[in-house]
Amino acid sequence: MKLSSTAILALAISSITATAYAETQSQAFTPVTINDKSAQAEATGFVEGQSISGSTRNWYANEQLKRGAKFAYKKDGQLAETDRRINWVQGTIVKYNSGFTEGTVGFSTEIAAYNALALERDRENLASGNGGAPKTGPASGNNRTLTHKDNGDAVDQWSKLGLANIKARVSNTTLTAGRMNFSSPQVDVIGNRALPSSFEGVAIHSEELNNLAFDVATFDRVSPRSEQSLQKFRTEYGNGRMESDHVNTAGISYQPFASLTTSLWGTQAEDIWNQYYFGATHVLGDSSVLSLTTGLNYYKTVDEGKKLLGEIDNDTYSLSFGLTHLAHTLTFSYQEVNGNEYFDYLHETNGIYLANSLLSDFNGPNEKSFQVSYGINMAEYGVPGLKFNIYQARGWGIDGTHYKGGGYDGVQAMDGETHYEYGIGATYAVQSGPLKATTVRGTYTAHRASENQADGSINEFRLVTTIPFNIL
């Protein structure tokens, strides 16, 4: 990876700061040893270990386009325009987990029913364009509320099998087959709607060694956040027509020091790309005085197989430095895309572990971006569970004029594009009582873009309340 002069300067600054305040954070090396504890040996039985739990989420979002941009909706058989879109959905999950059977090889199962109830059903407010499955773009659908294909009316209520898998475990190694949750820097459950996504395939997770975990998985379908269907994988920023039959991924997570966590992953989206990831997080100092958290995320993406999205050669990284003193955290983040196409990731995943992935991903061709954020934890002032944050990010230098054509056609019009975003948020987590662990999150975000920057200009307010529950 070739770092820019800006990144090198940031690393130098972080080193100086770390030296000044690294007094109490342990930097002890932790050797890799065989895990002498077996999770399977502690299995309690299929029935004895079973549980039924879940959550219900009230998800509300109010968006308003700025600078003349419009959403679209069907009116009297024709497309009409509006600058506002409102989505309000209640998403409920009921999940059954069995325990693992006893013995050398243990078996268990996981099943979860997902249900969505559309609380906002007005066609104009939903602004679902031509109707149909959720899509991106002002006039092409709604990626938040499921709507009918013919007219864009809300599907009042729908359900699906969100999770359905069987697990087999030996010692500390577990094989999962079926529809599952999975978390990695390239295939990760995205949970920023009323319901989360999930993935269908086979995965192995192993923790036979202390401080060193291994993952291998293959998936052929994704269950979207706002739909009942199963889909093949496609990318977030590609033309939307190209799909991959299989996504194969493998990774290692390693913690060589008490203060340092690292991970290395490789993922193949068949006939689209090979994508490699390295990430590291390091903590220095004592937050009661001053601590420094440094984060590095790096992706390398190259075309693969049939090259369905054309030629791809992209290096993207982010660097973040967070200073914490008691309740206060101040974070600076720099991000850079080196490539003539977007930094892209798999649709219906959270496979973008970059510091400046916000309302906008700040991932345009050759884009550079900088973010400053501030957070305060009110537990230090006698209100545990209450947190506030504020941030601003700017992106510049977007240049797609060197793109030779393929799945990202349109970026050629981006020449020196800029944009900025700012937001403020508050979160409260109930600390005790029958609603313990319930969270309420409110955010207001504003994004402004130059003429040819893809994200456009928009204001958005979200209010999300999530209530967990246990039945058994």
Residue 169, H or E segment: strand 157-170
What's the pLDDT score for residue 131? 61
Q: What is the pLDDT of residue 12?
A: 42
Q: Residue 85's CB: how many other CB atoms inside 10 A?
A: 25
The predicted pLDDT at position 265 comes to 98
Give the tokens for residue 99: 């325990």
Q: Is residue 226 within 8 Å of residue 197, measured between CB atoms?
A: no
Per-residue model confidence (pLDDT) at position 55: 98
- How do the pLDDT tens digits run along the chain, 472 residues long? 444 444 444 444 444 344 334 446 678 888 999 999 999 999 999 999 999 999 999 999 999 999 999 988 888 888 889 999 999 999 999 999 999 999 999 999 999 999 999 999 999 999 988 665 445 454 556 789 999 888 889 999 999 999 999 999 999 999 999 999 999 999 999 999 999 999 999 999 999 999 999 999 999 999 999 999 899 999 999 998 899 999 999 999 999 999 999 999 999 999 999 999 999 999 999 999 999 999 999 999 999 999 999 999 999 999 999 999 999 999 999 999 999 999 999 999 999 999 999 999 999 999 999 999 999 999 999 999 999 999 999 999 999 999 999 999 999 999 999 999 999 999 999 999 999 999 999 999 999 999 999 999 999 999 999 999 999 9
Cα-Cα-Cα-Cα torsion 394, 461, 346, 455, nearest 10 degrees, comes to: -50
> How much is the pLDDT for 266?
98
Helix or strand or coil: residue 42? helix
Q: What pLDDT does 76 receive?
A: 86
Checking phi first, is residue 20 left (phi over 0); if not, alpha (psi -120 to 50) or beta? alpha
Write out 88-118 in H/E/C secondary structure. EEEEEEEEEECCCCCCCEEEEEEEEEEEEEE
Whether the CA torsion 339, 341, 343, 344 is positive or negative: it is negative
Question: Strand, helix or coil at 325?
Answer: strand
DSSP reduced 3-state for 20: helix
Strands (E), 6-156: 51-65, 71-75, 78-82, 84-97, 105-118
Angle at 35 between CA 30 and CA 38, to 5 degrees: 150
The reported pTM is: 0.92
Residues with Cβ within 8 Å of 234's Cβ and at least 6 positions away in sequence, in order, are: 240, 241, 242, 243, 244, 346, 347
- Beta strands (DSSP E) in 326-383 are 328-338, 368-377
Catalogue all structural domains in the chain, each as residue range(s) with its CATH number. 1-30+232-472 (2.40.160.10), 45-231 (2.40.160.10)
199: enclosing H helix or E strand: strand 198-209
